[in-house]
């Protein structure tokens, strides 16, 4: 939760740097509420990538949440429909981890506890986005304070975070090379879709691994 705060501010500052208004930045944090995918969204939007690919990418980056919601289902069966809506809306990585830990300790997962813990993450995320966006507006030249280097490094960190997945290295290598080639021969923004599709098609055709229970991984961000 504490480690997520700098990323909220980073998102706000980079969003403004990518042409978002302060309102847009906070609006995205408040509605999407999933840090890594928000960064992906603003980068793709800055490149004028086609909307369907932006939305698919955000969906894909957040795909791990499917595992979380499947896994916490057994703890929240007794909640009402409206309560479940809030449960799923607030289901970020630390929230999932804490819910599982609490259930494991044998303590009841009540709606009051869940909502309380959720707001303690949700509200600071909005506040940090706002502060970062206001700060971002005051920056004249993002290069002079080294802001331009942060987004590619952040994405590199995300790529590394997936390195335990099947066929990670071939997918990364093929997508990287295809995107560079597409950038050169076709141009931006097509390098994103062409590079991504190359890696995805490769993954679909490579031999499937034997184990099929996907391990639920915990990432330390919102």
Partner 1 sequence: MDNSEHMQLIYVILAAAVATFLTRIGGYVMITQMKRIPPRMEAALNAVPAAVLSTLVAPAFLSGGWDVAVAMLVALVIGLRFSSLWMLLAGWLVVMAIRHVVI
C-alpha dist (Å) from residue 58 to 49, 90, 161, 219 = 13, 16, 16, 16
Report the residue number, 136 or 191, with the smaller CB distance to partner 1: 191
Site for partner 1 in 17-76 (CB under 8 A): 19-21, 24, 27-28, 31-34, 37, 40-41, 43-45, 51, 54-73
Q: How far is the CB of 187 from partner 1 (least distance, A)?
A: 11
Q: For residue 17, give both structure tokens.
A: 């740097």
Q: Does 161 bind partner 1 (CB under 8 A)?
A: yes
What whole-number distance in Å separates Cα of residue 47 and Cα of residue 211?
A: 38
Q: How far is the CB of 127 from partner 1 (least distance, A)?
A: 19
Site for partner 1 in 105-144 (CB under 8 A): 143-144
Report the residue number, 113 or 162, with the smaller CB distance to partner 1: 162
Report the residue number, 56 or 131, with the smaller CB distance to partner 1: 56
Q: How far is the CB of 78 from partner 1 (least distance, A)?
A: 13
Return the closest-CA partner of residue 14 out of 152, 147, 176, 191. 147
Report the residue number, 120 or 177, with the smaller CB distance to partner 1: 177
């Amino acid at each position: 939760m504490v480690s997520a705060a700098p990323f909220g501010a980073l998102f706000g500052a980079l969003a403004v740097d990518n042409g978002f208004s302060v309102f847009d930045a906070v609006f995205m944090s408040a509605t999407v509420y999933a840090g890594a995918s928000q960064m992906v969204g603003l980068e793709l939007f800055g490149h004028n990538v086609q909307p369907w690919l932006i939305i698919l990418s955000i969906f894909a980056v957040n795909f791990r949440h499917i595992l979380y919601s499947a896994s916490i289902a057994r703890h929240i069966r007794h909640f009402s429909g409206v309560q479940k809506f809030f449960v799923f809306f607030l289901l970020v990585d630390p929230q999932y981890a804490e819910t599982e830990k609490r259930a494991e300790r044998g303590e009841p997962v009540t709606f009051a506890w869940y909502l309380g813990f959720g707001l303690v993450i949700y509200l600071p995320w909005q506040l940090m986005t706002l502060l970062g966006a206001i700060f971002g507006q005051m920056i004249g030249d993002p290069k002079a304070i080294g802001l331009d280097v942060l987004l590619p490094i952040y994405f590199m960190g995300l790529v590394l975070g997936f390195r335990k997945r099947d066929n990670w290295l071939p997918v990364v290598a093929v997508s990287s090379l295809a995107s560079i080639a597409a950038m050169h021969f076709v141009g931006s923004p097509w390098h994103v879709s062409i590079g991504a599709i190359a890696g995805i098609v490769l993954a679909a055709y490579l031999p499937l691994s034997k184990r099929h229970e996907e391990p639920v991984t915990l990432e330390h961000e919102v």
